[in-house]
Structures are given as C-alpha cells and as structure tokens.
Structure 1
C-alpha cells in the first residue's frame, strides 16, 4: 500500500479519498477549516492543515481542485510563499493532476518538477461522485510509461478504466475533446427536443423512447434521467460552464478550431435561459 497526499477534498475529491482509504492506502489530506478536517477524518483519512505536512513522505500526491489557477497555486506556490506541493514532496514521488487544466500548465509542472526529481502525470477524470463510489471513474492519463505504471495500482482504487492515452498533457488533451463533444451533444439534444415539439411529440415521450434507438448515447441517458435538457444543464451547469471555458481558451491558445462543435455547444442555450 502507498502513502498518498491529497489536495482538494471537495465534491469529487472527498469520495476519491474515501476509496483510497478503503483500498488500504495511508492518506493525508489538506483541510484548511475545522469543518473540512472533520469531513476528512470521518472517511478515515488523516486531515492536516499544512500543505508541507500533507506532501512530506508521500509516494504520490494527487491534486483535485477546481481551476487551472488553483492547480498552479498549490503545486508551484508563489513568489512570496512556499514552493508549493512540488517543493514539499520527496524526491522520486509522483504528482497526479486530476483537475481539468490547460496542457501548457502540465508542461510547466513537468519542467518545474524536474528540479525536484518528481514525476508528473495528468489523470483527467470523466464521471461524477456516483462513479467514484462505484470505483468506475474514467481516467485519461498522460505521462511517462514508468510513472504511469507505478501509479496505476493506486488510481485503480477509484478509476476503471484507467486509460494511458499518451505523454504528459495528453490526458488533458483527450479530456478537452471529450468535454467539447459532451457539451455539443447536450446542445444537439436541445435541438432534438425542439424538433420533437414542432412535430407534436411530448418531451417526456421523446426522452423515454430515444435512449432505446440508434441515436442513443451516454449523454442522452443522463438527460433522460433528469427529464429534460434544461434540467440536466441545471444539474451540471457549474462544471459544464467551467470546462467549456477551458476548452475554448485552450483550443484558441493552441491555434485550433472547434468547428461545428462550437455551434452545437451553444444550441438552444440562450432560449433556455431567456
């Protein structure tokens, strides 16, 4: 079993911590407040208020915060503060980034980690807390073969499948494509609902029938469970908006073009929120 440091015990992170503890790993988790530390201790992990203590002696440190900026802050520190997680981890350890970030952020972390003799892998996630609880969270992993091989047994505590998709940053690149397609499919389903309305087919009937047809998809099944595209968008809105913003910013930085996906992402959004 491994000693794991964990940063970001929120909606996604805390269930991951619980799975790690259940798999027998020694897990030290950053908790900035009394309330957060109590929640961490409740799932069987050790809660610590100091980042350096979380990272000290860890074979693996996982980061599951919300934004790209937060990843840079906790991993790199700032000019007036400590070195961050990379400067606190022991030589030979591995940093695992679960947060959806720009591939350029991963490149920055890899370059900085070389100074400390630390490996970096990006393990972007697809799924939600219910997938974590079932041990079926999808992980898109980018990084060196040896680091990924060493880390995979720990990731399998909560991830299945754990997909090694390429070099450092490729996990994020696959996740960005995934998120663009996910958002576009939601937009297309909004258009399909409108077509059904024009043809006189009720929304409930349409969503009960389509998941059994050739147009079925995972997204459609999730929308059908919520009862409408609007209800599903409402449930995932905060995370969907963040991820779409990351996709658009990153694609622009890298000189790419979302093409028809861009129009599909925006389909019916304005009318639903009017």
Structure 2
C-alpha cells in the first residue's frame, strides 16, 4: 500500500485516482472544485483541502492538470509540492505539457531532493474510466520501476520511453496522429453522407480494413449522432497542437500535416467549439462544405 496525493480530479484525474484507491492505496485528492473529489471520497479516498494537505506524508504525488502553467504552479508555485512534500517523494506528472517545461521542472525537482517522472496518457475519458490508458513515461529507469504498479492500476500499455521530457515528446506525437485521424475520419464521413451511403455500414467495413483505427472505433458514435459531449476538449487539443508545432520548429523538423491540422483545430475553437469533444472537428468540415450544422 502506497500513500498517494493526487492533484487534479477532472475528467481524467478523477477516475485515475479512484482506480488507485480501489487498488488498495491510500489516496488524498485535491481539486480547486471540491465537488470533483466526490467519486474519490466514495471510493474511500480522503478529500484534501490544499496541495499542502494532500502531500502531507505522501510517498507519491500525482498531478493531472490542463497545461504547462498549471503544472508549474502546482509544483513550483507558492504552497506547491516543492514547498510541502517530504524529501525523496516521487512525483508523477500525468499532465500533457511542453517538453522543455518538463525538463526544467525535473531539474528543479531534483534540486529539491525529489524524484520525478513525466507520464502523459492517451485514451481519453473512456481509457481513464476503464483503466486502459496508454502511458508514455520519461525519467529515470529506477523510478519507473518503482512507479510501475501504480501505472498498471490506471493503464493498459505502459512504456518507459527515455529521459525526462521524453514522455511529453511522445505524447505530442500522439496528439498529432490523433488529430490527423479525427480530421480524416470527419472528411470521410461528410464525403460518404454526400452520396447517401449507409454510413454505419460503411464505417463498419472501413474499420475492418487498413483504415481501421482506435479513433474510428471510439469516435464514430459521436460523429454519427452529432453528440460531442467532451471526453477530450478541442481547447485541450488546440493546446497540444501548439506544443507539436513549437517543438517541431525548435527541432528543425517539418510537420506540414501537423501545421494544417493545428489550424483546423484553431478554426474549430474560434468558431465556438472549444468546449466540445475533439470529434467535433467534423463540424469544421461541415462548415467548409457549406452544410448546416446539426
């Protein structure tokens, strides 16, 4: 049994914290909106009143917040983890943030006597709820081995991909692939509908061939019903595509499809779809095709 502080109990963090509690660990959760902690409390976890309260006596501190400034504030800000956690605590950042920020925070963490892993996840809300996330982990091998049982409680595919920052780099690549897949699926669906094809049957046969993908399996229902309740918001994918394009430029590599998809995600956000699931990129294709939005 491990004593865990879990900071950030949103769409992804809440079910992950619950899985850790159900695995028998002592979990103290903190979220700016305390109502988000109710599922953890029902699973036997403790609702903390602050970051300092959450990390008190914790062996491991998990973080799952939206963006780089949020992680910086949670870890290095006033009243944050660096000021309040006990020495040698293992910090696991499940957030998806800029690789360069992760590298700098890892340097600071080690300077304060902490161990740290960047462990962004893929799989969306369904993956978090079903403990089926793909987790890409950067950091020291020994720390990864210590954390592996915790990763196994929330994920299905867990891989150590390199030094600090490597997990975030792999996650950026993941977000590029996912966005491109969603955009292609959106265009294919609008194309099929224009010819009055049985779209459900069409997607079934496409899913059984080379065009099949996890994106097609998980997002086709949203698209067919035009129901875009967020599992992963366009706002967050916009942030991630910014990470992709900035990191690519810094590395001196060209990602022309990535840049195009980043602009299409930005367009969806500018048209008021930022709070919708990223499968709502379909609405952008409909706009460009002159179709009325459902």
Partner Cα separation in structure 1 for residue 222 and residue 201 of structure 2? 13
Q: Normalising by structure 1, report the TM-score.
A: 0.88
Query: Does structure 2 retain, via aligned residues, the 8 Å contact 1:55–1:61?
Result: yes
Alignment of 1:111-126 (within 5 A): 111-126=107-122
Look up the match of 2:291.
none
Alignment of 1:91-130 (within 5 A): 91-130=87-126
Partner Cα separation in structure 2 for residue 268 and residue 23 of structure 1? 38
1:38, distance to aligned residue in structure 2 (A):
4.1
1:167 is aligned to 2:181: no
Query: Does structure 1 retain, via aligned residues, the 8 Å contact 2:125–2:231?
Result: no
Q: What residue ranges of structure 2 are gaps of 5+ in the alignment?
A: 265-280, 289-294
1:262 is aligned to 2:256: no
Partner Cα separation in structure 1 for residue 173 and residue 127 of structure 2? 20
Between 58-67 and 257-266, the greater mean CA deviation after superposition: 257-266
Look up the match of 2:48.
48
Classify 1:151/1:192 alpha carbon distance in 2 versus 1 (closer, same or farther; 3 Å): same
Query: Does structure 2 retain, via aligned residues, the 8 Å contact 1:123–1:142?
Result: yes
Between 31-40 and 118-127, the greater mean CA deviation after superposition: 31-40
1:26, distance to aligned residue in structure 2 (A):
0.8
1:249 is aligned to 2:246: yes
Query: Does structure 1 retain, via aligned residues, the 8 Å contact 2:134–2:156?
Result: yes
3-state SS of paired residue (1:162): strand
1:239 to 223, 236, 241: 236
Classify 1:240/1:118 alpha carbon distance in 2 versus 1 (closer, same or farther; 3 Å): same
Q: What residue ranges of structure 1 are gaps of 5+ in the alignment?
A: none
Alignment of 1:147-186 (within 5 A): 147-186=143-182
Between 27-36 and 95-104, the greater mean CA deviation after superposition: 27-36
Classify 1:104/1:270 alpha carbon distance in 2 versus 1 (closer, same or farther; 3 Å): same
1:147, distance to aligned residue in structure 2 (A):
0.7
Aligned residues: 270
Partner Cα separation in structure 1 for residue 229 and residue 28 of structure 2? 34
Partner Cα separation in structure 2 for residue 135 and residue 36 of structure 1? 19
1:171, distance to aligned residue in structure 2 (A):
0.7
